[in-house]
Chain A
Amino acid sequence: MNRFEFLRPTTIAEAVAAGARPGAAYHAAGTNLLDLMKGGVMRPGTLVDVGRLPGLDRIEHAADGGVRIGALVRNADLAHDPGFAARFPAVAEALLSGASAQLRNAATVGGNLLQRTRCGYFYDLASACNKRTPGAGCDARGGENRLHAVLGWSEACIATHPSDFCVPLAALDAVVEIIGRDGAREVPLADFHRLPGEAPERETVLAPGDLVVAVRLPAEAAGFAAHARYLKVRERTSYAFAVVSAAAALRLEDGRIAAARIALGGVALKPWRARAAEAALVGRAPAEAACREAAALALADAAPSGDNAFKIELARRIVARALLLAAAGTPGRLPALPASPFAALPGAQAHV
């Protein structure tokens, strides 16, 4: 780990001023930052510890049913907040399918949004990586790229964004509250992360010094609580990043879909909202045919970036399955294995 100066600002204004200095990075819980610093992937000269800033650790439920989540709320505390989990069950399920109990106890909301890709070549200093060193090239092209992107990738970078939490947030129209040198502003979560294009080193819309202070979910998002799921395929049962994941949320009226929300994880360098698929579901009965058609639309623009064509079909199946499980109803209690794709579909015959 490189040497750094450690600053402990006590107000947001002080933090923003310090965070805007060249070579500075915010430190929340450090579960991603320290990992990257130990590997020499990030080498900030100054760490600005925002972990103790006052007022950012609250979950505020609005009277209209929306919620405002402070950037320092711990992932575990949000998932286990009874009011939150009841209104936004797919978000709670996504949170609990991520990392481990120890990490969720530490990891913050802001840090989860800003966590960096798990591309192995990004982590390996001996490899060429345009994200780590702009212009260096991308060793993932032609390398081990089974788990890389199938949507929104560019010649410069084929990495994915690893967050589970961000997937239902994108589906449910979450908004990110930011304070920077020019004051406060808001950005929809779906526009917060950038696709790689020619500049994969620029990962979000944040400018130097910009601090995420909260994430809001609108009241409308709570209207999907009765039919909302998150599903995540992993290479082992638990404690692994998504190969592919999907959040699906439905509002049903008289047995038909009145509104649908769909987003995918593990497929692109940002949580991938599937609006055309959502639109196609409106007015349909939530049966297998409609779900499969929607899933096909969600992946219509997908293309393999390497050895990963299988992820496209896998993603279609996970979207369709998430929709069918959402249609069957949010379980009263989260399953023992949150987001597990192994749970049987309702009405399915158990194989003997």
Chain B
Amino acid sequence: MTLSISLTVNGTVQAVALEDPRVTLLDLLRERLHLTGTKKGCDRGQCGACTVLLDGRRTNACLVLAAAQDGASVTTIEGLAEGGQLHPVQQAFIDHDALQCGFCTPGQIMSAIGLLAEGQAGDDPERVREGMSGNLCRCGAYAGITEAVLDAQARLAAREDAA
């Protein structure tokens, strides 16, 4: 039996027909919607490479059944830049050299945006590291990642003050 769901992906409403309910949100994004920025690492919730914002909250897309998400809103790495301008977290990752091979980076950036929205870490590097521990980086770019997250937070706060 085909299940029909509707998803808002990066602001665009998408009607999706699922002939097979086994499709994860990760596979739907990559294979059906061709949004391959969200990476498939372990596919078992352990590495964080598939992190997206699901209804505004960071979530591992590999452990989410698409069939259970009718009406949900998803933001992926492709949905961050506005008018050719990188999101402040994206820019901070570049400025702080917070990557090497880049495979985990989309997940790191989506997770960092989720962390900043949660507002629990403040400017404490230890809380940032703990809050980012669901994203593994096998190149070991962690020092740069922590700096980038702290810097992006300062930039976002400055942008809000200016607005």
Which residue numbers of A lie inside 8 Å of B, CB to CB?
1, 3-6, 8, 27, 29-31, 34-35, 38, 47, 49, 51-52, 76, 80, 99-103, 105-106, 237-239, 336-338
Contacts and interface: CB of A to CB of B under 8 A. Distances in A.
Contact of B120 (A5, A80, A106): A80
A105 B58 contact: yes
B60 A103 contact: yes
Contact of B68 (A51, A102, A338): A51
B65 A35 contact: no
Interface in B1-34: 1, 3, 20-22, 24
9 contacts: A29-B63, A31-B60, A101-B58, A102-B114, A106-B64, A238-B130, A238-B133, A239-B134, A337-B126
Nearest to A337: B130
A1 B22 contact: yes
A6 B67 CA distance: 8
Interface stretch (B41-49, B79-87, B95-103, B150-158): B41-49
Given A6-B65, A103-B45, A34 B24 contact: yes
Q: Summarize B's interface: helix, strand, loop or mixed.
A: mixed
Contacts, number: 94
A239 B114 contact: no
Given A4-B22, A30-B64, A101-B111, A336 B130 contact: yes
Given A35-B63, A99-B134, 19 more contacts: A3-B22, A5-B1, A5-B21, A31-B60, A31-B63, A34-B64, A35-B44, A51-B68, A100-B134, A101-B58, A101-B115, A101-B131, A101-B132, A102-B59, A105-B57, A106-B60, A106-B63, A237-B133, A239-B134
Nearest to A1: B22
A31 B45 contact: yes
B127 interface: yes
B78 interface: no
Contacts of A3: 20, 22
A342 B126 CA distance: 13
3 closest Cβ pairs, A-B complex:
A100-B134, A6-B21, A238-B133
Contacts of B44: 35, 38
Contacts of B127: 336
B51 interface: yes
